[in-house]
Structure 1
Amino acid sequence: MTKKALLTAFSILLCLQSFAQYYDEGTRLKKLNEYQDSLAKLGKKIVNDENDMERKNANYQFIKTLVQALKINNSFLFPFDSLKSISIVNSPDNRFRILSWHVINLDGSYRFYGTVQINTGGALKMFPLEDYSPLQKNPEDSVTDSHKWYGAQYYKIMPVYGPKPYYVLLGWKGNTVKSTKKVIDVISFNNGVPEFGMPVFNGNGKTRDRVVFEYARQVSMLLRYLPEQNLIVFDHLSAPDGRSKDKPETFGPDLSYDGYKLKEGRWTYVEDLDMRNISSGESSATDTEYVDPKKQAAKDRALVPTRH
């Protein structure tokens, strides 16, 4: 074969290869978008359907569909940003992401679902999360694997580097008809397998594996990370009166703020933070809010045009 013929053949192969890659990529994105559309519809049903069994059936189909979507090569790169019913948060180093969501039960309690997806650059590697919350009597004192997860819907991941690097998670945790929870948790990897919780939170004479806040459902609680301060800041919660000091479902913010300050890889509790000295930059933006499913259902129904 002459040099000219060789170059011509090489050019044709290059064009065919480029077309095949483009076609494969196009097909991949098309399939992922189709799955995303199906997941969005199921997600609305999980949130809005008033029938308990229908919500749970929709969630079952949602899980099956999500797994099929994630099996597509390089699905880690697909943002699924049209899914409003779940939280998808990437670690800042893009090593992994956590997909988490909740289903409300008939009695007003919540069950959480999720998975940790590892960025492999190709084939799917993930660790499904099994909500073990109802059986965890002392969640602040337990290190668990993905099968005994203290379920939550996460909105922030912060890396902490050191001899044993880990990531801090901030999460919302719907609880009962009376109370809501928020969580400061930790995820680390032991031989590539995720673990939740780590004894790195010091304060009030105790070391905690995670920090759990509980407060009245009708109020809101600030829980935010301020990177320029290496500080997790949160509302100080207190009872409305002396008779309710052992009833966290009555607690609410009292207009003071506490926090955890990062020092040498551990978090030290600090009281009575002066919020006037806290930067008002991007980090002070409002935390992601999770809408009560019943309230969201009412809003969605109000958007449906009525027939005259």
Structure 2
Amino acid sequence: MTKKIVLLFSFLISSYCSFSQLPDAAGIQQLRKFQDSLQLLSQEVFSGKGDDGRLQANEDFIPMLVKALKIKNSFHFTFDSLKTVSVLYPQDSAFRVFTWALERENGFYRHYGAIQMKTADGQLKLFPLFDASDFMTNTDTITDNKSWYGCLYYNLLHSRYFNQDYYTLFGWDANNPRSQKKIIEMLTFKNGLPVFGGPFFSFAEDSVKKPTQNRFIIEYKKESTATMNYNKELNMIVYDHLISETNEPGKKYTYVSDMDYEGYKWQAGKWMHVHKIFHDAIPLGKGAPIPQPLIQKNKNMSNPKSAEDYQAEGKNTPPPKKPVKKSS
């Protein structure tokens, strides 16, 4: 009986501590007002008329978001009305990351974001993210928040190895009028500061050895769709194997899926490359998704569609024609 009472008190104390970290009534009211204004601005950033209008909306959005986040315990206010802004928390809720995109009239994109840390006193600790991807001559590098590889994050995994926390970020970059990209990179914290990238993508088990990569990127045809996400059933990252549909491997904007799938498995603090996931037969109940053509006007900037998404939604749009692989 005594043990049950102790457990009950422990539960009540932890519950009180959890609720006590929420914004107070006045703070929630302020945050809701900010959210309404931010929602309108975010829609203007996404679909406003002309570059000038979208840029101005973005310039107004950023300081307003910072003002909202300065409200004590704002970390626990989810901003779930911001449909064109991705807000992701890892499983341990140590931080959250905001990302969004601004499309230019020339079809190119620039990304914006920030990492808000969870703090014991509820005060704001924020790392703004500055998109430097257009100026990177080498994308396989380790960066900080001031030289971020800009993209819109759509998934976030938390892993631990030897008491170290690792966060795997999955990002989408609408890129330019001819191609789009998906990115996987690791986020770690060193001396309390965010570090993007690192030697975590290994090809040591491949028959053809390649150097370990700091960041993994696929680029493919604008109208095509490629899967790259964590698969819970397989307990690994799964992504489409891509080939040039015009047999021009140097032109990434011609790449499409050939219906094969590669992946990465978490092993000893690294993502270990798996060259081929499905072999002679696909396991029962774990069918590979069928890529669907991307309709640009239906794009969702805070939830980019993958082949798995289309399949789950039951869309019956026929897949794009694929090059037929020749048997050896």
Length-normalised TM-score, structure 2: 0.77
Pairing of 1:107-256 with structure 2 (within 5 A): 107-121=106-120, 122-139=122-139, 141-163=140-162, 164-203=164-203, 204-242=209-247, 244-256=248-260
- Shift in Å, 1:165: 2.5
Query: Match for 1:180: what amino acid?
Result: Q
Distance (whole Å) between structure 2 residues aligned to residue 263 and residue 94 of structure 1: 23
Query: Match for 1:60: what amino acid?
Result: E
Distance (whole Å) between structure 2 residues aligned to residue 89 and residue 232 of structure 1: 18
Query: Match for 2:52: what amino acid?
Result: M
Answer whether contact 1:233 1:260 (CA < 8 A) is retained: yes
1:276 to 2:275 alignment: no
Query: Match for 2:238: what amino acid?
Result: V
- Shift in Å, 1:171: 0.8
Answer whether contact 2:198 2:213 (CA < 8 A) is retained: yes
Task: Could you tell me which runs of 5 or more consecutive residues in structure 2 were left unpaired when the two chains were aligned.
Answer: 1-19, 204-208, 302-328
Residue 33 of structure 2: SS of its match in structure 1? helix
Query: Match for 2:126: what amino acid?
Result: M
Query: Match for 2:263: what amino acid?
Result: G
Distance (whole Å) between structure 2 residues aligned to residue 272 and residue 207 of structure 1: 18
CA offsets per residue over residues 186-221 of structure 1, 9 Å max, x none?
Answer: 100001100000101012512100101100111111
Answer whether contact 1:199 1:207 (CA < 8 A) is retained: yes
1:56 to 2:55 alignment: yes
How many residue pairs get aligned? The number is 269
Distance (whole Å) between structure 1 residues aligned to residue 56 and residue 174 of structure 2: 20
Distance (whole Å) between structure 2 residues aligned to residue 144 and residue 198 of structure 1: 9
Query: Match for 1:150: what amino acid?
Result: Y
Aligned to 1:92: 91
Task: Answer 1 or 2: which has greater helix percent.
Answer: 1
CA RMSD of aligned residues (A): 2.5
Percentage of identical aligned residues = 37
Answer whether contact 1:240 1:251 (CA < 8 A) is retained: yes
CA offsets per residue over residues 71-127 of structure 1, 9 Å max, x none?
Answer: 000000000000001100001100011000010122111100000100114000010
CA separation of 1:238/1:278 partners in 2, compared to 1, >3 Å: closer, same or farther? farther
Distance (whole Å) between structure 1 residues aligned to residue 295 and residue 26 of structure 2: 35
CA separation of 1:84/1:248 partners in 2, compared to 1, >3 Å: closer, same or farther? same
Answer whether contact 1:168 1:185 (CA < 8 A) is retained: yes
Answer whether contact 1:48 1:293 (CA < 8 A) is retained: no
Distance (whole Å) between structure 2 residues aligned to residue 103 and residue 246 of structure 1: 28
Answer whether contact 2:114 2:127 (CA < 8 A) is retained: yes
CA separation of 1:280/1:37 partners in 2, compared to 1, >3 Å: closer, same or farther? farther
Distance (whole Å) between structure 2 residues aligned to residue 54 and residue 279 of structure 1: 48
CA separation of 1:69/1:177 partners in 2, compared to 1, >3 Å: closer, same or farther? same
Distance (whole Å) between structure 2 residues aligned to residue 278 and residue 173 of structure 1: 33
Query: Match for 1:148: what amino acid?
Result: S
Please, which moves more after superposition, 142-151 or 221-230? Answer: 221-230
Aligned to 2:307: none
Residue 35 of structure 1: SS of its match in structure 2? helix
- Shift in Å, 1:229: 3.3
- Shift in Å, 1:279: 5.9
Distance (whole Å) between structure 2 residues aligned to residue 52 and residue 273 of structure 1: 43
Answer whether contact 1:40 1:83 (CA < 8 A) is retained: yes
Query: Match for 1:77: what amino acid?
Result: H
Residue 165 of structure 1: SS of its match in structure 2? strand
- Shift in Å, 1:280: 5.0
Answer whether contact 2:223 2:296 (CA < 8 A) is retained: no
Residue 34 of structure 1: SS of its match in structure 2? helix
- Shift in Å, 1:226: 2.0
Query: Match for 2:135: what amino acid?
Result: L
- Shift in Å, 1:246: 0.6
- Shift in Å, 1:276: 2.6
